[in-house]
Amino acid sequence: MGLAAVRSIGMAQPLRSEQDEEDFEQELIDQYALAQVGAGLTDKFVHTERTTVFEFARFLGRHLWTASESDADRFLSYLRQERGLARTTREAKASTLGRFFDFLIARYQGDIHALTGYVVTQPIDEFNRPASSSSAASRIPPSDPEVEALFSGWREALPAARKYLPAARDYLAASLWRRAGLRINETVMLDIKDWRPDLGEHGKLHVRFGKGSRGKGPKPRLVPAIDSVDALMEWWLRDVRHQFGDDYLDPDAPLLPSERRDRVSGSCTRAGDDTLRGGLTAAVERWLPAWGDRLGPHGLRHYCASSLYARGMDLKAVQELLGHEWLSTTTRYIHVHSEHIDHAWAVANQRVAARLTGE
């Protein structure tokens, strides 16, 4: 992340009281936030970073410039063992702290040493940094037969579901992850108006809240309703959505509603990401138990990319579908079986032979 230049704190006099030290610590955190704003990061991203820094400070119980690797060890263990936070959440918090302390060391290490006598060190190192959830093994999705078994079992059980409407909603959300590669937050923010059957051969979903790089705000895109997404959308809007409430006629109503109602308007509220993720988790436990906690929304996004590529979609098209800024990111989403590689090699050799023989 490129940080904007901000003024040096450069206090001439030493800190004379506990209040001076607290004010100095607050100024350091404010300067970090200011630098992030200067770098063009969103208010939401900056707020999340500040919240994590304050959380670590409270856990530490003393000033941030005194933190050591062992303090980070204790904090990350606390997040895992006592708070039970997911690996991805712990990884994000560790990354935030790493960036913050990199900032302190690069910008204010001299000031901090002169004023406090402490030399700031980086508490997040290669030993306590949580293992990245983006490792190749954890990203590899289920096979085609496994995914088909999951969704066919889920689909057949819908009519008899104890709560049909949320079950159908969760099925649709997971289908969008499987077939169109949407992110979970993109799915949550879809409104009824975002389904555009008038665009393209199959219709398109207007993803208005696509993920921007490095927290730089939403990056909208139009996602073609390929791979039977158009049929799913027709089923949802014709047979299911209106059963949630009369707001189905409102283009600004959520496409995937909650059963809860807004106290003021009486309209359906938006289903949250935890709700949709929970629906998938329950389905996996029932119809694909071998995958247990291993398959989530992001895993289905990887499956979508791999499946479409294996069926012949070129890498650039997969990139545009997923909304990646860089093609190199898309390549990390592609997981193919050895027989696909063998087939591609055979086809390539056939093409070379055809050119040499003039056939």
Residue 89: which of 35, 29, 48 has the closest Cα? 48
Residue 277: Cβ-neighbour burial (10 angstroms; 0-12, 13-18, 19+): middle
Instruction: In whole angstroms, give the CA distance from residue 198 to residue 189.
Output: 21
Catalytic machinery residues: 183, 216, 298, 301, 324, 333
DSSP for 32-74, please give it.
Answer: HHHHHHHTT--HHHHHHHHHHHHHHHHHH-S-GGG--HHHHHH
Determine the Cα angle at 340 with ends 335 and 345, to 5°. Answer: 120
Determine the Cα angle at 71 with ends 69 and 73, to 5°. Answer: 70
Provide the 10 A C-beta neighbour count for residue 134. 11
Instruction: In whole angstroms, give the CA distance from residue 222 to residue 213.
Output: 17
Q: Are 206 and 192 in contact (CB under 8 A)?
A: no
Instruction: In whole angstroms, give the CA distance from residue 320 to residue 158.
Output: 32
Cα–Cα distances (Å) from 337 to 29, 114, 344, 348, in that order, read 48, 58, 11, 17
Residue 306: which of 266, 334, 340 has the closest Cα? 334
Provide the 10 A C-beta neighbour count for residue 107. 19
